[in-house]
Chain A
Amino acid sequence: MNFYGIKAIYLFEMARTWRTLMQSIASPVISTSLYFIVFGSAIGSHMAKIDGVSYGAFIVPGLIMLSLLTESISNASFGIYMPKFTGTIYEILSAPISAIETVIGYVGAAATKSVIIGTIILFTARLFVDFSIEHPVWMVAFLVLTSVTFSLFGFIIGVWADSFQKLQVIPLMIVTPLAFLGGSFYSINMLPPFWQKVALFNPVVYLVSGFRWSFYGVSDVDVGISLGMTMVFLLICLAAIWWIFRTGYKIKA
Protein backbone atom coordinates (compact mmCIF):
# COMPACT_ATOMS: atom_id res chain seq x y z
CA MET A 1 0.00 0.00 0.00
CA ASN A 2 1.48 3.32 -1.09
CA PHE A 3 0.39 5.50 1.82
CA TYR A 4 2.77 8.30 0.89
CA GLY A 5 1.21 8.37 -2.56
CA ILE A 6 -2.35 8.55 -1.19
CA LYS A 7 -1.27 11.28 1.19
CA ALA A 8 0.42 13.24 -1.61
CA ILE A 9 -2.71 13.21 -3.77
CA TYR A 10 -4.97 13.95 -0.82
CA LEU A 11 -2.90 16.90 0.36
CA PHE A 12 -2.50 18.19 -3.19
CA GLU A 13 -6.27 18.22 -3.60
CA MET A 14 -6.86 19.77 -0.19
CA ALA A 15 -4.30 22.47 -1.02
CA ARG A 16 -6.42 23.25 -4.08
CA THR A 17 -9.42 23.66 -1.75
CA TRP A 18 -7.64 26.07 0.55
CA ARG A 19 -6.21 27.98 -2.39
CA THR A 20 -9.67 28.52 -3.80
CA LEU A 21 -11.21 29.10 -0.42
CA MET A 22 -13.61 31.78 -1.59
CA GLN A 23 -15.22 29.76 -4.35
CA SER A 24 -14.84 26.45 -2.52
CA ILE A 25 -16.44 27.33 0.76
CA ALA A 26 -17.75 30.86 0.77
CA SER A 27 -19.97 30.51 -2.28
CA PRO A 28 -22.01 27.49 -1.10
CA VAL A 29 -22.38 29.17 2.28
CA ILE A 30 -23.61 32.40 0.73
CA SER A 31 -26.04 30.69 -1.63
CA THR A 32 -27.42 28.53 1.18
CA SER A 33 -27.86 31.59 3.37
CA LEU A 34 -29.90 33.14 0.59
CA TYR A 35 -32.12 30.06 0.47
CA PHE A 36 -32.72 30.36 4.19
CA ILE A 37 -33.54 34.04 3.98
CA VAL A 38 -35.94 33.58 1.08
CA PHE A 39 -37.49 30.16 1.73
CA GLY A 40 -36.83 29.78 5.41
CA SER A 41 -37.55 33.16 6.89
CA ALA A 42 -39.56 35.12 4.30
CA ILE A 43 -41.78 32.44 2.74
CA GLY A 44 -41.43 29.84 5.47
CA SER A 45 -43.09 32.03 8.08
CA HIS A 46 -46.31 31.80 6.02
CA MET A 47 -46.08 28.02 5.50
CA ALA A 48 -47.80 25.35 7.56
CA LYS A 49 -45.67 22.88 9.47
CA ILE A 50 -44.74 19.70 7.58
CA ASP A 51 -44.84 16.49 9.65
CA GLY A 52 -44.77 18.71 12.73
CA VAL A 53 -41.60 20.48 11.65
CA SER A 54 -41.51 24.20 10.83
CA TYR A 55 -40.80 24.86 7.15
CA GLY A 56 -37.55 26.68 7.88
CA ALA A 57 -36.23 23.68 9.81
CA PHE A 58 -37.75 21.23 7.31
CA ILE A 59 -35.58 22.46 4.44
CA VAL A 60 -32.28 22.36 6.40
CA PRO A 61 -31.42 18.69 5.62
CA GLY A 62 -32.51 19.08 2.00
CA LEU A 63 -30.37 22.15 1.48
CA ILE A 64 -27.34 20.49 3.01
CA MET A 65 -27.93 17.48 0.75
CA LEU A 66 -28.23 19.78 -2.27
CA SER A 67 -24.85 21.32 -1.53
CA LEU A 68 -23.26 17.94 -0.77
CA LEU A 69 -24.35 16.56 -4.12
CA THR A 70 -23.26 19.49 -6.25
CA GLU A 71 -20.02 20.13 -4.34
CA SER A 72 -18.98 16.47 -4.25
CA ILE A 73 -19.55 16.06 -7.95
CA SER A 74 -17.92 19.30 -9.04
CA ASN A 75 -14.94 18.94 -6.74
CA ALA A 76 -14.14 15.33 -7.58
CA SER A 77 -14.79 15.70 -11.30
CA PHE A 78 -12.60 18.78 -11.52
CA GLY A 79 -9.88 17.11 -9.45
CA ILE A 80 -9.34 14.28 -11.94
CA TYR A 81 -10.29 16.24 -15.06
CA MET A 82 -7.56 18.87 -14.61
CA PRO A 83 -4.59 16.47 -14.71
CA LYS A 84 -6.13 14.91 -17.80
CA PHE A 85 -6.59 18.33 -19.35
CA THR A 86 -3.12 19.68 -18.54
CA GLY A 87 -1.37 16.36 -19.11
CA THR A 88 0.03 16.06 -15.58
CA ILE A 89 -1.80 12.74 -15.26
CA TYR A 90 1.31 11.16 -16.81
CA GLU A 91 2.86 11.36 -13.38
CA ILE A 92 0.02 9.52 -11.64
CA LEU A 93 0.04 6.84 -14.34
CA SER A 94 3.79 6.35 -14.08
CA ALA A 95 3.80 6.25 -10.27
CA PRO A 96 3.82 3.05 -8.22
CA ILE A 97 0.30 3.70 -7.05
CA SER A 98 -2.72 1.48 -7.64
CA ALA A 99 -6.08 2.52 -9.00
CA ILE A 100 -7.69 2.11 -5.59
CA GLU A 101 -5.06 4.28 -3.94
CA THR A 102 -5.50 6.96 -6.59
CA VAL A 103 -9.26 6.94 -6.06
CA ILE A 104 -8.86 7.08 -2.28
CA GLY A 105 -6.65 10.16 -2.66
CA TYR A 106 -8.92 12.06 -5.03
CA VAL A 107 -12.30 10.96 -3.73
CA GLY A 108 -11.17 11.20 -0.12
CA ALA A 109 -10.18 14.83 -0.60
CA ALA A 110 -13.38 15.69 -2.49
CA ALA A 111 -15.53 14.02 0.16
CA THR A 112 -13.62 15.74 2.96
CA LYS A 113 -14.33 19.07 1.37
CA SER A 114 -18.00 18.22 1.02
CA VAL A 115 -18.25 17.19 4.66
CA ILE A 116 -16.60 20.46 5.68
CA ILE A 117 -19.03 22.45 3.54
CA GLY A 118 -22.00 20.45 4.84
CA THR A 119 -20.93 21.14 8.40
CA ILE A 120 -20.47 24.84 7.73
CA ILE A 121 -23.92 25.04 6.16
CA LEU A 122 -25.37 23.22 9.16
CA PHE A 123 -23.97 25.86 11.50
CA THR A 124 -24.97 28.67 9.14
CA ALA A 125 -28.53 27.32 9.10
CA ARG A 126 -28.60 27.35 12.87
CA LEU A 127 -28.21 31.14 12.70
CA PHE A 128 -31.45 31.41 10.74
CA VAL A 129 -33.69 28.69 12.12
CA ASP A 130 -34.07 26.63 15.23
CA PHE A 131 -33.72 22.85 14.81
CA SER A 132 -32.48 19.81 16.63
CA ILE A 133 -30.82 16.59 15.50
CA GLU A 134 -32.45 13.42 16.82
CA HIS A 135 -29.96 10.89 15.49
CA PRO A 136 -26.59 12.65 15.30
CA VAL A 137 -24.63 9.48 14.54
CA TRP A 138 -26.89 8.65 11.60
CA MET A 139 -26.74 12.27 10.52
CA VAL A 140 -22.95 12.05 10.29
CA ALA A 141 -23.21 8.64 8.62
CA PHE A 142 -25.52 9.98 5.89
CA LEU A 143 -23.35 13.06 5.50
CA VAL A 144 -20.19 11.03 4.96
CA LEU A 145 -21.83 8.31 2.89
CA THR A 146 -23.43 10.81 0.52
CA SER A 147 -20.21 12.80 0.20
CA VAL A 148 -18.21 9.70 -0.65
CA THR A 149 -20.80 8.30 -3.04
CA PHE A 150 -21.21 11.49 -5.01
CA SER A 151 -17.48 12.19 -5.01
CA LEU A 152 -17.08 8.78 -6.65
CA PHE A 153 -19.78 9.75 -9.12
CA GLY A 154 -17.95 13.02 -9.76
CA PHE A 155 -14.70 11.13 -10.30
CA ILE A 156 -16.41 9.05 -12.98
CA ILE A 157 -17.73 12.19 -14.68
CA GLY A 158 -14.24 13.72 -14.56
CA VAL A 159 -12.76 10.65 -16.24
CA TRP A 160 -15.52 10.54 -18.84
CA ALA A 161 -15.50 14.24 -19.70
CA ASP A 162 -13.17 15.35 -22.45
CA SER A 163 -14.20 18.99 -22.47
CA PHE A 164 -15.15 21.56 -19.88
CA GLN A 165 -18.63 21.55 -21.35
CA LYS A 166 -19.11 17.85 -20.67
CA LEU A 167 -17.79 18.43 -17.18
CA GLN A 168 -20.72 20.77 -16.56
CA VAL A 169 -23.45 19.00 -18.44
CA ILE A 170 -24.29 16.14 -16.07
CA PRO A 171 -24.31 18.24 -12.88
CA LEU A 172 -26.37 20.91 -14.63
CA MET A 173 -28.77 18.81 -16.67
CA ILE A 174 -29.30 15.82 -14.42
CA VAL A 175 -28.11 16.30 -10.86
CA THR A 176 -29.52 19.76 -10.19
CA PRO A 177 -33.03 18.87 -11.45
CA LEU A 178 -32.98 15.59 -9.52
CA ALA A 179 -31.87 17.43 -6.40
CA PHE A 180 -34.56 20.09 -6.71
CA LEU A 181 -37.24 17.49 -7.45
CA GLY A 182 -35.90 15.20 -4.75
CA GLY A 183 -37.83 16.76 -1.93
CA SER A 184 -35.29 19.30 -0.70
CA PHE A 185 -38.01 21.92 -0.34
CA TYR A 186 -41.09 19.76 0.20
CA SER A 187 -42.25 16.38 1.34
CA ILE A 188 -43.00 14.12 -1.61
CA ASN A 189 -46.23 13.27 0.22
CA MET A 190 -47.39 16.73 -0.88
CA LEU A 191 -47.26 15.58 -4.53
CA PRO A 192 -50.22 14.08 -6.40
CA PRO A 193 -50.20 10.26 -6.16
CA PHE A 194 -48.87 9.76 -9.71
CA TRP A 195 -45.90 12.06 -9.17
CA GLN A 196 -45.21 10.43 -5.82
CA LYS A 197 -44.66 7.17 -7.74
CA VAL A 198 -42.41 8.93 -10.26
CA ALA A 199 -40.44 10.54 -7.46
CA LEU A 200 -39.49 7.11 -6.13
CA PHE A 201 -37.29 6.66 -9.22
CA ASN A 202 -35.29 9.70 -8.15
CA PRO A 203 -32.31 8.53 -6.08
CA VAL A 204 -32.03 11.91 -4.40
CA VAL A 205 -35.41 11.36 -2.72
CA TYR A 206 -33.85 8.56 -0.66
CA LEU A 207 -30.85 10.64 0.34
CA VAL A 208 -32.92 13.63 1.42
CA SER A 209 -35.49 11.49 3.15
CA GLY A 210 -32.92 9.51 5.11
CA PHE A 211 -30.98 12.62 6.03
CA ARG A 212 -34.14 14.38 7.19
CA TRP A 213 -35.06 11.37 9.30
CA SER A 214 -31.72 11.70 11.14
CA PHE A 215 -32.74 15.25 12.05
CA TYR A 216 -36.40 14.95 12.93
CA GLY A 217 -37.25 11.27 12.99
CA VAL A 218 -39.74 11.71 10.16
CA SER A 219 -39.24 10.61 6.58
CA ASP A 220 -40.98 10.16 3.25
CA VAL A 221 -39.61 6.66 2.76
CA ASP A 222 -38.40 4.14 5.28
CA VAL A 223 -34.91 4.97 6.51
CA GLY A 224 -33.70 1.42 5.86
CA ILE A 225 -34.67 1.78 2.22
CA SER A 226 -32.91 5.16 2.10
CA LEU A 227 -29.74 3.65 3.43
CA GLY A 228 -30.03 0.67 1.10
CA MET A 229 -30.50 2.85 -1.97
CA THR A 230 -27.52 5.00 -1.04
CA MET A 231 -25.40 1.87 -0.69
CA VAL A 232 -26.64 0.59 -4.05
CA PHE A 233 -25.58 3.81 -5.73
CA LEU A 234 -22.23 3.64 -3.96
CA LEU A 235 -21.67 0.11 -5.25
CA ILE A 236 -22.64 1.11 -8.80
CA CYS A 237 -20.06 3.91 -8.69
CA LEU A 238 -17.39 1.57 -7.32
CA ALA A 239 -18.11 -0.96 -10.06
CA ALA A 240 -17.87 1.75 -12.73
CA ILE A 241 -14.52 2.93 -11.36
CA TRP A 242 -13.23 -0.61 -11.19
CA TRP A 243 -14.14 -1.01 -14.85
CA ILE A 244 -12.52 2.33 -15.77
CA PHE A 245 -9.18 1.34 -14.33
CA ARG A 246 -9.32 -2.22 -15.59
CA THR A 247 -9.83 -1.09 -19.18
CA GLY A 248 -7.89 2.17 -18.96
CA TYR A 249 -11.01 3.90 -20.31
CA LYS A 250 -10.17 7.49 -21.31
CA ILE A 251 -7.08 7.40 -19.10
CA LYS A 252 -4.62 5.10 -20.82
CA ALA A 253 -4.03 4.49 -24.50
Chain B
Amino acid sequence: MKPLDHTRMPRVSGAPDPVISVSGLSKTYASGFQALRNVDLEIRRGEIFALLGPNGAGKTTLISIICGIVNPSTGTVMADGHDIIRDYRPARTKIGLVPQELTTDAFESVWATVSFSRGLFGKPANPAYIEKILKDLSLWEKRNTKIMALSGGMKRRVMIAKALSHEPKILFLDEPTAGVDVELRRDMWNMVRGLRENGVTIILTTHYIEEAEEMADRIGVINKGEIVLVEDKDVLMRKLGKKQLTLHLQAPLAALPAALQSEYLQLSADGAELIYTFDAQSEETGIATLLRRLNEHGIDFKDLHTSESSLEDIFVSLVRGRP
Protein backbone atom coordinates (compact mmCIF):
# COMPACT_ATOMS: atom_id res chain seq x y z
CA MET B 1 0.00 0.00 0.00
CA LYS B 2 1.30 3.42 -0.92
CA PRO B 3 1.30 6.16 1.67
CA LEU B 4 -1.30 8.74 0.86
CA ASP B 5 -0.41 12.31 0.24
CA HIS B 6 -2.85 14.08 2.47
CA THR B 7 -1.87 17.55 1.48
CA ARG B 8 -3.53 16.86 -1.85
CA MET B 9 -6.58 15.14 -0.49
CA PRO B 10 -9.77 17.14 -0.47
CA ARG B 11 -10.52 18.33 3.02
CA VAL B 12 -13.96 17.02 3.64
CA SER B 13 -15.11 15.77 6.96
CA GLY B 14 -15.43 12.00 6.96
CA ALA B 15 -12.57 10.65 4.90
CA PRO B 16 -13.63 8.02 2.35
CA ASP B 17 -12.00 5.16 4.21
CA PRO B 18 -11.27 5.96 7.83
CA VAL B 19 -9.16 3.32 9.53
CA ILE B 20 -10.47 4.41 12.91
CA SER B 21 -13.70 6.19 13.53
CA VAL B 22 -14.71 7.35 16.96
CA SER B 23 -18.21 8.63 17.49
CA GLY B 24 -19.90 10.12 20.50
CA LEU B 25 -17.26 8.78 22.83
CA SER B 26 -17.48 9.81 26.47
CA LYS B 27 -15.72 8.51 29.53
CA THR B 28 -16.50 9.27 33.12
CA TYR B 29 -14.29 7.49 35.62
CA ALA B 30 -15.65 5.96 38.81
CA SER B 31 -14.21 8.97 40.67
CA GLY B 32 -16.63 11.17 38.71
CA PHE B 33 -13.89 12.69 36.60
CA GLN B 34 -15.05 13.19 33.03
CA ALA B 35 -12.04 12.46 30.87
CA LEU B 36 -13.75 12.54 27.48
CA ARG B 37 -16.80 14.47 26.33
CA ASN B 38 -18.60 13.31 23.23
CA VAL B 39 -15.52 12.85 21.08
CA ASP B 40 -15.86 12.33 17.33
CA LEU B 41 -12.71 11.59 15.40
CA GLU B 42 -11.71 9.90 12.17
CA ILE B 43 -8.23 8.71 11.41
CA ARG B 44 -7.38 8.21 7.76
CA ARG B 45 -5.74 5.09 6.50
CA GLY B 46 -2.00 5.40 6.22
CA GLU B 47 -1.57 8.77 7.85
CA ILE B 48 0.47 9.95 10.78
CA PHE B 49 -1.94 11.63 13.13
CA ALA B 50 -0.68 13.65 16.05
CA LEU B 51 -2.96 14.15 19.00
CA LEU B 52 -1.85 17.21 20.92
CA GLY B 53 -3.03 18.32 24.27
CA PRO B 54 -1.87 19.44 27.67
CA ASN B 55 -1.49 16.96 30.52
CA GLY B 56 -4.80 15.52 31.62
CA ALA B 57 -6.57 16.49 28.40
CA GLY B 58 -7.77 12.94 27.73
CA LYS B 59 -5.17 11.75 25.23
CA THR B 60 -4.30 8.58 27.07
CA THR B 61 -7.91 7.82 27.95
CA LEU B 62 -8.88 8.06 24.30
CA ILE B 63 -6.08 5.72 23.26
CA SER B 64 -6.81 3.33 26.12
CA ILE B 65 -10.43 3.02 25.07
CA ILE B 66 -9.55 2.35 21.44
CA CYS B 67 -7.04 -0.31 22.52
CA GLY B 68 -9.46 -2.01 24.93
CA ILE B 69 -7.78 -1.14 28.21
CA VAL B 70 -10.52 1.18 29.44
CA ASN B 71 -14.25 0.68 28.94
CA PRO B 72 -16.05 3.65 27.35
CA SER B 73 -19.05 5.16 29.13
CA THR B 74 -20.88 5.89 25.89
CA GLY B 75 -20.08 5.97 22.20
CA THR B 76 -18.57 3.61 19.68
CA VAL B 77 -15.21 3.05 18.07
CA MET B 78 -14.61 1.22 14.81
CA ALA B 79 -11.10 0.02 14.00
CA ASP B 80 -10.60 -1.06 10.40
CA GLY B 81 -14.33 -1.65 10.12
CA HIS B 82 -14.64 -3.67 13.33
CA ASP B 83 -16.42 -2.51 16.45
CA ILE B 84 -13.77 -2.56 19.17
CA ILE B 85 -16.11 -4.15 21.71
CA ARG B 86 -18.50 -6.38 19.78
CA ASP B 87 -15.87 -7.46 17.30
CA TYR B 88 -12.79 -7.07 19.50
CA ARG B 89 -10.70 -9.89 18.11
CA PRO B 90 -10.23 -8.63 14.53
CA ALA B 91 -10.12 -5.03 15.79
CA ARG B 92 -7.35 -5.65 18.31
CA THR B 93 -5.35 -7.86 15.97
CA LYS B 94 -4.90 -4.76 13.79
CA ILE B 95 -3.75 -2.52 16.63
CA GLY B 96 -0.39 -2.15 18.32
CA LEU B 97 0.11 0.03 21.38
CA VAL B 98 3.21 1.56 22.91
CA PRO B 99 2.01 2.95 26.22
CA GLN B 100 3.43 5.98 27.89
CA GLU B 101 4.79 4.26 30.98
CA LEU B 102 7.77 1.96 30.71
CA THR B 103 5.90 -1.11 31.88
CA THR B 104 7.92 -4.18 31.10
CA ASP B 105 8.60 -7.50 32.68
CA ALA B 106 11.90 -7.65 34.50
CA PHE B 107 13.24 -11.17 34.31
CA GLU B 108 12.42 -12.12 30.74
CA SER B 109 14.88 -11.71 27.91
CA VAL B 110 14.18 -9.24 25.13
CA TRP B 111 13.63 -12.07 22.69
CA ALA B 112 11.20 -13.89 25.01
CA THR B 113 9.09 -10.85 25.77
CA VAL B 114 8.75 -9.81 22.13
CA SER B 115 7.89 -13.39 21.10
CA PHE B 116 5.36 -13.52 23.94
CA SER B 117 3.60 -10.43 22.58
CA ARG B 118 3.33 -11.95 19.14
CA GLY B 119 1.76 -15.11 20.53
CA LEU B 120 -0.58 -13.15 22.77
CA PHE B 121 -1.94 -11.38 19.71
CA GLY B 122 -2.73 -14.70 18.12
CA LYS B 123 0.09 -14.97 15.62
CA PRO B 124 2.20 -18.09 15.07
CA ALA B 125 5.88 -17.79 15.92
CA ASN B 126 7.99 -16.12 13.24
CA PRO B 127 11.61 -15.86 14.40
CA ALA B 128 12.72 -14.20 11.17
CA TYR B 129 10.24 -11.38 11.65
CA ILE B 130 11.14 -10.89 15.32
CA GLU B 131 14.80 -10.80 14.29
CA LYS B 132 14.03 -8.08 11.77
CA ILE B 133 12.22 -5.94 14.32
CA LEU B 134 14.99 -6.31 16.87
CA LYS B 135 17.59 -5.39 14.27
CA ASP B 136 15.57 -2.39 13.09
CA LEU B 137 15.35 -1.15 16.65
CA SER B 138 19.04 -1.82 17.40
CA LEU B 139 18.02 -4.45 19.96
CA TRP B 140 19.54 -7.48 18.28
CA GLU B 141 22.71 -7.40 20.36
CA LYS B 142 20.56 -7.30 23.49
CA ARG B 143 18.19 -10.10 22.53
CA ASN B 144 19.32 -12.41 25.33
CA THR B 145 19.63 -9.68 27.94
CA LYS B 146 17.10 -9.55 30.73
CA ILE B 147 14.90 -6.50 30.41
CA MET B 148 15.75 -5.31 33.92
CA ALA B 149 19.36 -4.87 32.81
CA LEU B 150 18.43 -2.44 30.01
CA SER B 151 18.56 1.33 30.10
CA GLY B 152 15.37 3.37 29.91
CA GLY B 153 15.88 4.12 26.23
CA MET B 154 16.43 0.45 25.46
CA LYS B 155 13.29 -0.48 27.39
CA ARG B 156 11.38 2.02 25.27
CA ARG B 157 12.70 0.22 22.18
CA VAL B 158 11.58 -3.10 23.65
CA MET B 159 8.07 -1.74 24.12
CA ILE B 160 7.99 -0.62 20.51
CA ALA B 161 9.23 -4.05 19.41
CA LYS B 162 6.45 -5.68 21.44
CA ALA B 163 3.85 -3.43 19.84
CA LEU B 164 5.13 -4.27 16.37
CA SER B 165 5.54 -8.00 17.01
CA HIS B 166 2.13 -8.94 15.59
CA GLU B 167 2.45 -6.80 12.46
CA PRO B 168 -0.29 -4.28 13.34
CA LYS B 169 -1.84 -2.02 10.70
CA ILE B 170 -2.51 0.70 13.25
CA LEU B 171 0.11 1.80 15.74
CA PHE B 172 -0.53 3.96 18.78
CA LEU B 173 2.43 5.73 20.29
CA ASP B 174 1.50 7.37 23.57
CA GLU B 175 4.10 10.03 24.30
CA PRO B 176 6.78 8.03 22.50
CA THR B 177 9.61 10.43 23.03
CA ALA B 178 8.96 11.57 26.59
CA GLY B 179 12.28 11.39 28.38
CA VAL B 180 14.08 9.96 25.39
CA ASP B 181 17.48 11.14 24.20
CA VAL B 182 18.05 12.87 20.89
CA GLU B 183 19.45 9.82 19.15
CA LEU B 184 16.56 7.56 20.05
CA ARG B 185 14.10 10.28 19.14
CA ARG B 186 15.63 10.55 15.68
CA ASP B 187 15.62 6.76 15.32
CA MET B 188 11.99 6.64 16.31
CA TRP B 189 10.98 9.31 13.87
CA ASN B 190 12.74 7.41 11.11
CA MET B 191 11.08 4.19 12.19
CA VAL B 192 7.66 5.82 12.21
CA ARG B 193 8.19 7.17 8.71
CA GLY B 194 9.34 3.72 7.58
CA LEU B 195 6.21 2.15 9.01
CA ARG B 196 4.04 4.64 7.22
CA GLU B 197 5.81 3.80 3.96
CA ASN B 198 4.57 0.25 4.57
CA GLY B 199 1.01 1.41 5.00
CA VAL B 200 0.81 1.46 8.78
CA THR B 201 -1.40 4.17 10.22
CA ILE B 202 0.25 5.91 13.14
CA ILE B 203 -1.43 7.84 15.89
CA LEU B 204 0.91 9.56 18.29
CA THR B 205 0.17 11.68 21.28
CA THR B 206 2.66 14.21 22.35
CA HIS B 207 3.02 17.46 24.10
CA TYR B 208 6.19 18.21 22.21
CA ILE B 209 4.89 20.44 19.46
CA GLU B 210 8.04 20.05 17.42
CA GLU B 211 7.35 16.35 17.19
CA ALA B 212 3.93 16.92 15.68
CA GLU B 213 5.35 19.60 13.43
CA GLU B 214 8.09 17.26 12.25
CA MET B 215 6.06 14.09 11.84
CA ALA B 216 2.36 14.54 11.45
CA ASP B 217 0.17 14.65 8.37
CA ARG B 218 -2.75 15.82 10.42
CA ILE B 219 -3.09 17.25 13.86
CA GLY B 220 -5.86 16.98 16.38
CA VAL B 221 -5.94 19.11 19.48
CA ILE B 222 -7.68 17.79 22.55
CA ASN B 223 -8.34 19.85 25.63
CA LYS B 224 -10.45 19.08 28.70
CA GLY B 225 -11.77 15.93 27.07
CA GLU B 226 -12.95 17.59 23.89
CA ILE B 227 -11.49 17.59 20.41
CA VAL B 228 -10.90 21.26 19.78
CA LEU B 229 -9.61 20.99 16.25
CA VAL B 230 -8.58 18.50 13.57
CA GLU B 231 -6.73 19.80 10.57
CA ASP B 232 -4.05 18.97 8.03
CA LYS B 233 -0.82 20.16 9.50
CA ASP B 234 0.12 22.23 6.47
CA VAL B 235 -3.31 23.81 6.31
CA LEU B 236 -3.21 24.51 10.01
CA MET B 237 0.18 26.09 9.77
CA ARG B 238 -0.92 28.17 6.81
CA LYS B 239 -4.26 29.16 8.23
CA LEU B 240 -3.09 30.07 11.65
CA GLY B 241 0.59 30.51 10.96
CA LYS B 242 1.46 34.13 10.47
CA LYS B 243 4.73 35.71 9.52
CA GLN B 244 5.80 38.91 11.10
CA LEU B 245 8.30 41.52 10.00
CA THR B 246 9.75 43.58 12.84
CA LEU B 247 11.48 46.85 12.04
CA HIS B 248 13.71 48.40 14.68
CA LEU B 249 13.35 52.12 14.14
CA GLN B 250 16.12 54.65 14.10
CA ALA B 251 14.06 57.00 16.24
CA PRO B 252 10.95 56.08 18.26
CA LEU B 253 7.62 57.21 16.90
CA ALA B 254 4.95 58.78 19.06
CA ALA B 255 2.21 57.47 16.79
CA LEU B 256 1.76 55.81 13.47
CA PRO B 257 1.14 58.36 10.67
CA ALA B 258 -2.51 58.25 9.64
CA ALA B 259 -1.66 57.31 6.08
CA LEU B 260 0.08 54.16 7.29
CA GLN B 261 -2.70 53.01 9.62
CA SER B 262 -3.65 49.43 8.82
CA GLU B 263 -4.79 46.34 10.66
CA TYR B 264 -1.58 44.66 9.59
CA LEU B 265 0.79 47.27 10.96
CA GLN B 266 1.34 47.92 14.63
CA LEU B 267 3.60 50.15 16.63
CA SER B 268 5.15 48.68 19.75
CA ALA B 269 4.32 50.24 23.10
CA ASP B 270 7.64 52.05 23.37
CA GLY B 271 7.35 53.25 19.78
CA ALA B 272 10.73 51.75 18.85
CA GLU B 273 9.44 48.89 16.70
CA LEU B 274 7.02 48.49 13.88
CA ILE B 275 5.46 45.06 13.48
CA TYR B 276 4.00 44.09 10.14
CA THR B 277 1.99 40.89 9.88
CA PHE B 278 1.68 39.20 6.52
CA ASP B 279 0.85 35.94 4.86
CA ALA B 280 4.08 34.39 3.70
CA GLN B 281 2.25 32.07 1.29
CA SER B 282 0.68 34.78 -0.82
CA GLU B 283 2.23 36.21 -3.97
CA GLU B 284 2.05 39.78 -2.77
CA THR B 285 3.36 40.10 0.76
CA GLY B 286 3.20 43.88 0.71
CA ILE B 287 6.70 44.24 2.13
CA ALA B 288 8.08 46.23 -0.78
CA THR B 289 5.14 48.63 -0.64
CA LEU B 290 5.51 49.01 3.08
CA LEU B 291 9.19 49.84 2.87
CA ARG B 292 8.61 52.35 0.09
CA ARG B 293 5.88 54.11 2.03
CA LEU B 294 7.96 54.20 5.20
CA ASN B 295 10.65 55.87 3.15
CA GLU B 296 8.14 58.40 1.84
CA HIS B 297 7.21 59.26 5.43
CA GLY B 298 10.85 59.58 6.39
CA ILE B 299 10.77 56.68 8.84
CA ASP B 300 14.20 55.06 9.01
CA PHE B 301 15.03 51.74 10.55
CA LYS B 302 18.34 50.28 11.67
CA ASP B 303 17.49 46.57 11.64
CA LEU B 304 14.76 44.16 10.69
CA HIS B 305 13.87 40.53 11.16
CA THR B 306 11.04 38.19 10.26
CA SER B 307 9.54 35.49 12.42
CA GLU B 308 7.05 32.73 11.83
CA SER B 309 4.53 31.51 14.35
CA SER B 310 5.18 27.90 15.29
CA LEU B 311 2.68 25.19 15.95
CA GLU B 312 3.38 25.85 19.58
CA ASP B 313 2.01 29.39 19.33
CA ILE B 314 -1.01 28.05 17.51
CA PHE B 315 -1.50 25.36 20.09
CA VAL B 316 -1.15 27.68 23.05
CA SER B 317 -3.60 30.15 21.56
CA LEU B 318 -6.10 27.36 20.93
CA VAL B 319 -5.88 25.86 24.37
CA ARG B 320 -5.75 29.19 26.19
CA GLY B 321 -8.56 30.58 24.11
CA ARG B 322 -11.00 28.14 25.67
CA PRO B 323 -12.52 28.41 29.09
Enumerate chain A interface residues (CB-CB to B < 8 A): 2, 4-5, 7-9, 11-12, 15-16, 19, 86-88, 90-97, 248, 252-253
A-B contact pairs, 19 of them (CB 8 A): A2-B122, A5-B120, A5-B121, A7-B119, A8-B115, A8-B117, A8-B119, A9-B120, A12-B108, A15-B112, A86-B106, A87-B99, A91-B97, A93-B69, A96-B91, A97-B122, A252-B71, A253-B69, A253-B70
* Any A CB within 8 A of the CB of B1: no
* Any A CB within 8 A of the CB of B55: no
* Any A CB within 8 A of the CB of B88: yes
> A94 to B69, Cβ gap below 8 A?
yes
When distances are taken between beta carbons in the complex, the residues of chain A under 8 Å from B97 are 90-91, 94
Given A94-B92, A96-B90, A96-B93 in contact, is the A5-B122 Cβ separation under 8 Å?
yes
Residue of A nearest to B70 (CB): A253
When distances are taken between beta carbons in the complex, the residues of chain B under 8 Å from A96 are 88-93, 121-122
> A97 to B68, Cβ gap below 8 A?
no
> A94 to B122, Cβ gap below 8 A?
no
Enumerate chain B interface residues (CB-CB to A < 8 A): 29-30, 64, 67-71, 88-93, 95, 97, 99, 101, 103-108, 112, 115-124, 162
When distances are taken between beta carbons in the complex, the residues of chain A under 8 Å from B64 are 253
When distances are taken between beta carbons in the complex, the residues of chain B under 8 Å from A11 are 116, 119
> B122 to A88, Cβ gap below 8 A?
no
**How far does the alpha carbon of A96 sit from the alpha carbon of B124 in the complex, in Å?**
14
**How far does the alpha carbon of A19 sit from the alpha carbon of B119 in the complex, in Å?**
20
> A94 to B119, Cβ gap below 8 A?
no
**How far does the alpha carbon of A248 sit from the alpha carbon of B118 in the complex, in Å?**
24
> A91 to B120, Cβ gap below 8 A?
yes
CB distance from A171 to the nearest CB of B (A): 23
> A4 to B122, Cβ gap below 8 A?
yes
Residue of B nearest to A87 (CB): B103
> A88 to B112, Cβ gap below 8 A?
no
> A8 to B92, Cβ gap below 8 A?
no
**How far does the alpha carbon of A97 sit from the alpha carbon of B68 in the complex, in Å?**
11
> A4 to B103, Cβ gap below 8 A?
no
**How far does the alpha carbon of A90 sit from the alpha carbon of B103 in the complex, in Å?**
9
When distances are taken between beta carbons in the complex, the residues of chain B under 8 Å from A94 are 67-69, 92, 95, 97
When distances are taken between beta carbons in the complex, the residues of chain A under 8 Å from B112 are 12, 15
CB distance from B218 to the nearest CB of A (A): 24
**How far does the alpha carbon of A4 sit from the alpha carbon of B119 in the complex, in Å?**
5
When distances are taken between beta carbons in the complex, the residues of chain A under 8 Å from B120 are 4-5, 8-9, 91-92, 95, 97
With a 10 A CB-CB cut-off, give which of B30, B91, B119 has the most chain A CB atoms.
B119
When distances are taken between beta carbons in the complex, the residues of chain A under 8 Å from B117 are 8, 91
**How far does the alpha carbon of A253 sit from the alpha carbon of B58 in the complex, in Å?**
14
Given A15-B112, A94-B69, A96-B88 in contact, is the A253-B121 Cβ separation under 8 Å?
no
